[in-house]
Chain A
Amino acid sequence: MITRERRILSGKGRFIDDLELPSMVHCVFIGSPYAHARIRKMDVSKALKNPGVLTVITGEELRQHTAPLPATSDFSGRPGWHWRAPEIYPLAVGKVRFHGEPVAAIVAETPRQALEAAGGIEIEYDPLPPVMDAVSAMEKNGPLVYEEWGDNVQLHTVFNFGDVERAFREADRVLKFPWHENRTSGFPLEARGCLSMYEPMTETLHTWGSYQCPFRAQHYISHVLRLPQTSVRVTASDIGGGFGNKINIWKYTVVCLAAMLTGRPVKWHESTREFFLTGPHQRDVVWDSEVAIKNDGRVLGIKARFIQDLGVEISNRDYSAPSIQAACSSVPNAYRLQGLKVEAYGIVTNKSFYGAYRGFGKDKGAKFMERIMDLVSRECNLNPAELRLKNFIQPQEFPYKQISGLVYDSGNYPAVLQEALKAAEVDSWKAKQEELRKEGKHIGIGMAFVVEPAGIAAPNARFSGLVQARVRVTPDGLVEIYSDRTEIGQGAEMTNTLVVSQILGAKPEDIVVKPVTSDIIGMGPISSRGAVYSVSALARAAKGLKEIIVKYASAFFKDRPENIRLENGAIYSSKNPENRLTYKELADRMYFRPGARGLPQEMQLNHETLLDVSASWFSPNSAENPTSTYTTFSSSADIAVVEVDTETGATRILKYVHVHDAGKIISREIVDGQIYGGIVQGIGEALSEELIYNEQGELSSGSYADFVMPTAVDAPDIVIKHLETPSPYTELGTKGMGESPIIGSKAVIISAIEDALSPFHILITEAPATREKVRRWIRHSTAG
């Protein structure tokens, strides 16, 4: 079958903007100009009279027709957790709580008519003082995002892993380290959107669009619209990038409602500006910490306070509440930490909601720890590589039960780091650094090591780890793959095809990866779980199908099962190769000629008559170790050399090396593509990306002009090397790896800049390291 890439290059893409149905109409959202305000009055009667307008939906209509947005995680009742979720709707009811929050949806014959009708919506707001900073939002007697809460704390708990008191008792020194990550997110080039239609014949609400997780979307939509889940069918169209930013589908529910109310197909394709204003925001965490160390560089324990700026909430619009746990439990990273105690807060503010973005939560602890490694390296006067080698979990210790409760499956961290050091030629760069310093030029060498937990199955959070895969040979001999692994550009279709091709011996061009729909149970491509859950289930289904094929061929050729080979689109006997069937011939016989010389009696009596197998898979790691919500743990080392221009504050990357161990690799090219893309995203986070709200609470960086993402000029050459330590848990030994590149890269660039500026004795405690900030740090430094 024609591959997706070939189709797109032929101009036959099926992105949401390309989808069309007869009598289709368009939906447009109108947003609040205020960050925080009461809606005193809303009158849409004028807008309704505008030409082409079918309906205008407001929060009040939603209250009548729909259920409030569900809390997708529920930590109430969990001991030691303070947790609550607000009652909210996709359109504001009574109050607006962030700049751009949708207040109405206009449905009209054309998008232009919908936009023109916006002027006919009369809203009167009573502005309220906005809460724009998480730390000050914790103060008493300040403005409240949700008055009924009495404060702005959505989540509070203390994570206490291992024995932190002992760690601090045994410490030689205690270092302090604060660290603040910028607010940013993915913003793939295609914003969100869907086309929804109610089909009365089958009483089904159909929706196609940029849905990263169709099965979960089906559940969410059915809940909100109060329909049985069986009446909703979600299909992913071509998706122009996800990175986790299209797991949230709260705005899509309004489009679905519009389809039901108008009886017409309704299309919505978000503008990029709206995506920035109302999209899932991420990162934006503040750590305050004390680090207990020995003089020889062993890091014994960490005590920290952690504050996550959730914007309006982390509970309803997306599936992100567990990210706080992921952030805190990822702190130990690759090391043998004895104790960790984190007092964690999730604070609400008047900004867009906290969502999912590549890394989700496990990125934060790892970056924080790598910054600490840099600090310890300097304070103890230890080579950063030797420091890590000293603290590493050793290869013979796997599976390793980390103090966080996660059981790390396998790895060889020293080998990965040594490979990176070799490839980066660190010693010669260090010599160059000395020389250049004499000329007043500043280059720096940075290092970061990251363990990426992948494949989440967490309780109470709609990430239950369920997955289904189905493989079917059609009567005309093609192989169909049904998977939950939505293609978002990560190469799901290509790698799914390779897995099935390798097991069944079918030719890749005879394999059809069907569009992902809610018909297949599964969490979708999140948490790098494609290579963990989806691929494992797919491999099981393909192996199950292979068994049936082998049984049939063995009976048909009158040969032993051990002699049956599946290769290159054919099934043959290795003993008598002239005994051969193509997939087409096999399918024709198995489907249509089950008489004499047809299906063997044993297969008929065992009801094994179909070339169609569905299978599931669950993580043995999470099953055997209930605290191990993640299944596989890939590892990577990043080494970067940068030059910092102390006049302009600009950072230029001179060398970038990334060594990766992602277990068994299905496709090197696909993995490398993920690495290149993730690293460049991380570089953007390290150097320039920031979602900035002004004092009035307006998002001032709401377009690509102000939110500076890396261009081709900013992306460095990247040297990649691979090691493969298979996972003992997954069906093929594969590990999820899609998120580690974005984690190590951000840390390594900050590390390299700090090293470049070491003559100025600057400790970098925040990102991004913009030019302006670098100049400011130099100006305020005590040396130079």
Chain B
Amino acid sequence: MEVEPQETFLDVLKNRLKIKSVHRGCEEGECGACTVLLNGRPVCSCLILSPQVDGGEVLTLEGLNQNGEFHPLLTAFMENYAIQCGYCTPGMVMTAYYLLHHLTDFSDESIRKGLEGNLCRCTGYINILKAIKAAKKEKDSGCWW
């Protein structure tokens, strides 16, 4: 597709590709609401100019929905009441997905540090932590994709 040079990756995702899960937050890279995985790493899509994404691979929340089935991480979020208003949720889930694949230390402290770039105003983070630990159990027992 053709993009304007000043369009951010967030603009492309939302305005051009109509990807609903990515949420427009502060647009200054502070809140993490617009987090997606770019080439496997979590990024604030609002901070990236669209030409920088050319040729890259993106994973959004929609990608964790396959044939109407939830990824086990999403089920964990649901079952642990980790969603209240839902605005931080997609960004939070993408960061959580990354952490589940890349953290070596799964202590509370380590998970919390990993979530530091995703603000949530509703949940107090506690159920999000529970959801990630529940998902880790699923992953370790092989119920994962």
Contacts and interface: CB of A to CB of B under 8 A. Distances in A.
Contacts of A242: 85
A717 B127 CA distance: 10
A490 interface: yes
A189 B119 contact: yes
Interface in B67-92: 70, 74, 77-78, 81, 83-90
B116 A712 contact: yes
B39 interface: no
Contacts of B123: 673, 676-677
Nearest to A17: B24
Give the contact-size bracket for chain B: 35 or more
A6 interface: yes
Given A10-B65, A677-B124, A681-B121, A713 B87 contact: no
B124 to A, nearest CB: 3
Nearest to B95: A712
Contacts of B33: 189-190
B16 to A, nearest CB: 12
Interface string B27-42: 1101101000000000
Contacts of B27: 271-272
A240 interface: yes
A239 B19 contact: no
Contacts of B83: 5, 8-9
Interface string B108-145: 10011101111111111111110000000000000000
A673 B85 contact: no
B58 to A, nearest CB: 13
Nearest to A186: B121
B124 A680 contact: yes
B116 A673 contact: no
B22 to A, nearest CB: 9
A635 to B, nearest CB: 20
Contacts of A12: 20
Contacts of B124: 673, 675-681, 715, 718
Contact of A670 (B31, B81, B115): B81
A713 B112 contact: yes
A243 B89 CA distance: 18
Interface in A686-722: 703-705, 709, 711-713, 715, 717-718
A704 B28 contact: yes
B86 A704 contact: no
Given A11-B65, A704-B30, A489 B25 contact: no
Interface in A218-253: 238-243
Interface in A144-199: 186-190
A712 B84 contact: no
Contact of A705 (B30, B125, B126): B30
Contacts of A5: 78, 83, 86
Contacts, number: 160
B121 A715 contact: no
Interface string B2-33: 00000000000010000111011111101101
B84 A677 contact: yes
B20 A240 contact: no
Give the most central of A488, A673, A679, A705: most B CB within 10 Å.
A673
Contacts of B119: 189, 704, 709, 711
Nearest to B6: A112
Contacts of B118: 711-712
Contacts of B86: 4-5, 8, 13, 238, 240, 489
A11 B86 CA distance: 11
Contacts of A680: 124-125
B89 A8 contact: yes
A400 interface: no
A488 B74 CA distance: 21
Nearest to B22: A11
A15 interface: yes
Interface in A1-48: 4-6, 8-13, 15, 17-18
Nearest to A18: B20
Given A13-B20, A703-B26, A190 B125 contact: no
B122 A241 contact: yes
Interface residues of A, number: 52
Chain B binding surface, main DSSP class = loop
Contacts of B26: 271-273, 703-704
A715 B122 CA distance: 12
Contacts of B30: 703-705
A6 B122 CA distance: 17
Give the most central of A242, A679, A703: most B CB within 10 Å.
A703
Nearest to B93: A9
B126 A9 contact: no
Contacts of A670: 81
A701 to B, nearest CB: 12
A239 B122 CA distance: 12
A132 to B, nearest CB: 25
A8 B74 CA distance: 10
A711 B115 contact: yes
Contact of B90 (A4, A11, A273, A704): A11
Contacts of B78: 5-6, 9
A726 interface: no
A13 B21 contact: yes
B60 interface: yes
Give the most central of B21, B111, B128: most A CB within 10 Å.
B21
Give the most central of A240, A272, A703: most B CB within 10 Å.
A240
Given A8-B89, A705-B30, A673 B121 contact: no
Contact of B121 (A9, A187, A273, A703): A187
B113 A715 contact: no
A704 B88 CA distance: 14
A669 interface: yes
Given A673-B81, A677-B84, A717-B126, A11 B60 contact: yes
Give the most central of A9, A242, A273, A678: most B CB within 10 Å.
A9
A491 interface: yes
B84 A673 contact: yes
Given A670-B81, A712-B116, A717-B108, A11 B21 contact: yes
Contacts of B129: 712
Interface in A445-495: 488-491
B70 to A, nearest CB: 7
A540 interface: no
Give the most central of B31, B117, B121, B125: most A CB within 10 Å.
B121
A683 to B, nearest CB: 9
A5 B126 CA distance: 17
Contacts of B85: 188-190, 239-242, 488-489
Contacts of A10: 62, 65, 70
A243 B121 contact: yes
B35 to A, nearest CB: 12
Contacts of B89: 8-9
Given A680-B125, A718-B124, A272 B28 contact: yes
B23 A15 contact: yes
B43 interface: no
12 contacts: A4-B86, A6-B70, A8-B90, A11-B19, A189-B25, A189-B85, A239-B85, A241-B87, A490-B84, A676-B124, A680-B125, A711-B115
Given A489-B85, A704-B119, 14 more contacts: A5-B78, A11-B60, A18-B20, A188-B121, A190-B25, A190-B85, A240-B86, A271-B26, A673-B124, A676-B123, A678-B124, A709-B121, A712-B125, A713-B116
Q: Which 6 A-B pairs have the closest CB atoms?
A: A489-B85, A240-B87, A676-B124, A680-B124, A704-B30, A489-B84
